[in-house]
Amino acid sequence: MARWIDRLQLSYEQKLFLLAAVPLVLAAGAIAVLVVNQARAVSDQEIRSLETRLIEAKKRELRNYVTQARNGFYFIYGSAPPDDADAQEQVKQILSAMIYGDEGFFFVYDYDGTNLVSPRQTELINRNWSDLTDGEGTRVVEAFIDTARRGAGYVEHLWPKPSTGEEARMITYVTSFPSWRWAVGTGVFIDDVTASVAAARAEVEARVRQTFLYIGIITLAALLMVFVSGMAINIRERRLADAKLKRLTQRVFDAQEEERGRVARELHDGISQMLVGIRYALEIARGRMQRGDPRAAGNIDTGIGHISTAIAEVRRISRDLRPGVLDDLGLGPALKMLTDEFHDRTGIETQFKTVVFRNRLDDDAKIALYRIAQEALTNIERHAEANEVTVDLRGHTRGATLRVSDNGRGIEQSAGNAPGQGLGLRNMQERIEQLDGTLRILSSKTGTVIEAEVPLTHLLAPGDTNGAPAPADPHPQPSARAASQQTQTPKASA
């Protein structure tokens, strides 16, 4: 999902809202579907149970009707012979008179299918209906006769309602007068049961829709809360980011002014004094030349010496601002030169170690690691009171790591601050954060370790033409002092 969102041209806030909202909507939808399915399943089971109970009640009612009717004329049927026409006529009259409710009646069919009694539908009497079928294709009279032949039972079928003439579902209980070969029965329409079941199902569907509505309202409220809280967090983060940006901008300005002041002091205290000395030497030489004084050549030599010193000082200042070896040879040789100059300037025993790794660092990573090493060495020179320093550069499966360690008195004792609170350490942290890397500072009374790691995204493939070109021989010959100090493999062209 995250990759699909990345393909859309959305802001960070919109992506964050989608990542929070989409799982919430999916979870709410899944819960809604689960709740609705469970509710429908339970409701269907209850409705079927209700329908079964209602129909069973109807069946018991029908059976009671038939039993009561049979008991009413059993004294006639029980004592009459099979061919007693008078007894049969008396029973027919009794059954014809037994109508109940708005639709209830008794009927009689002989085993041949001829209707003998039908008080509410007299047009059926004395006609053969053995082939009568209902709207569903059920041979109704034939089913009555088959049930009577088996003794007794229920038949469910469609039958025209006497009040409307339209077919409706009916349950009929049929019993047998075997000596007379009669099928006697009565039925009850169950359209009220069907209506009750339909009403129950409609109520279930209404509850399902209501449940969907409630879940939708809850989901919308949750989305609104996510949106509002996201907006609040976004506003707060923007304010914090703006404040941090202002502080960072101020630090940049302060760093620029500090660097300008340092360069101005370097120029005033070094180059300017040398140029003044050169001017005085040349003026003295000019005066002596005009007088023919042979000492003029000595003044010219002095001026030339000052010029050479000024040139060297300009190169040093330029190298401090942007070391050319970093672009020409890579990070390894640049750090080697930086540690050599640090040793020559401070007298602190310094080692630089590295191993060959195939991938090269891009320009941003090289500059950041060089400046971190430069800042670390400056802090060691000013505060650490160390006599041993090690600078280590290595590539690994996670990226590349620069490690600067010393045996000084630690940051807390030297600077009076907890690790990471000084301006130099904050600059290191900001540089490495721009590369999505990590900076670890471990300080104790026995020394300090500063470890900066850049991810693989800032390492170029060996054949990549981006970034600084890989030199044919990136390892200048070390001095005798460095060769005696270092136990290292040849340096990589980082």
Could you read off the pLDDT of 2-59 as tens digits, one per residue? 555 455 566 666 776 777 777 878 887 888 788 878 877 887 887 788 778 878 888 8
Q: How do the pLDDT tens digits run along the chain, 494 residues long?
A: 555 545 556 666 677 677 777 787 888 788 878 887 887 788 788 778 877 887 888 888 888 888 777 777 777 877 778 888 888 888 888 888 888 777 888 899 999 999 999 988 889 999 999 899 988 899 999 999 999 999 889 999 898 887 777 888 888 999 888 889 999 988 888 877 777 788 887 888 888 888 878 888 888 888 888 778 877 887 888 888 888 888 878 877 777 777 777 777 777 777 777 788 888 778 888 888 888 878 878 888 888 887 888 887 787 777 667 677 777 778 888 888 889 988 998 999 999 998 876 667 888 888 888 889 988 998 898 888 889 999 999 888 888 899 999 998 887 644 444 444 566 788 888 888 888 899 999 988 888 999 999 998 877 776 555 444 444 333 343 333 333 333 333 333 44
- Predicted pLDDT at 351: 92
Of the residues 159, 189, 219, the one at which a domain ends: 189
- Domain end, chosen from 189, 205, 232, is at 189
Return d(Cα 255, Cα 253) in angstroms, integer: 5
Domain end call among 131, 159, 189? 189
Q: What is the secondary structure of 31-61 as a DSSP string?
A: HHHHHHHHHHHHHHHHHHHHHHHHHHHHHHH
pLDDT digit string (tens) for 327-362?
A: 777 888 888 888 998 899 899 999 999 887 666 788
pLDDT score for 406: 93
Same-domain check for residues 328 and 477 = yes
Output the pLDDT for position 140: 92
Residue 144 lies in a domain: yes
CATH code for the domain in which residue 102 is found: 3.30.450.20
d(CA 306, CA 314): 12
pLDDT at 474: 38
Burial letters for 127-142: b for 16+ Cβ neighbours within 10 Å, e otherwise? eebeebebeeeebbbb
Q: Indicate whether 280 belongs to any domain.
A: no
340 located within any domain: yes
Find the domain containing 469 and state its range: 324-485
pLDDT confidence of residue 359:
63
Indicate whether 368 belongs to any domain.
yes
In a domain, 3, yes or no: no
Can you give the pLDDT at residue 3?
Answer: 56
448 in a structural domain: yes
Q: Which residues contact 36 (CB under 8 A, 6 or more apart)?
A: 208, 211, 212
Residue 233 burial (CB count, 10 A) = 12
**What's the CATH code of the domain at 384?**
3.30.565.10
pLDDT at residue 402, rounded to an integer: 93
Minimal CA–CA distance to 343: which of 494, 480, 491? 480
Q: Show the tokens assigned to 242.
A: 């703006």
Q: State whether 181 and 328 are in the same domain.
A: no
Inter-residue contact 377 to 416 (CB < 8 Å)? no
For CA atoms 159, 162, 168, 171, the dihedral sign is: negative
* Residues 377 and 470: beta-carbon distance below 8 Å: no
Q: How far is CA 3 from CA 7, 23, 27, 154, 492, in A?
A: 7, 15, 20, 66, 36
The residues that bridge with 354 in the sheet, in sequence order, are 393
Q: Looking at the domain assignment, is residue 76 inside a domain? A: no
The domain tally of the chain equals 2
Determine, yes or no, domain membership for 302: no
- DSSP code of residue 270: I
Task: Calculate the alpha carbon distances from 227 to 15, 116, 235, 381 in Å.
Answer: 12, 79, 12, 52
State how far the Cα of 332 lies from the Cα of 370, in Å rounded to an integer: 9
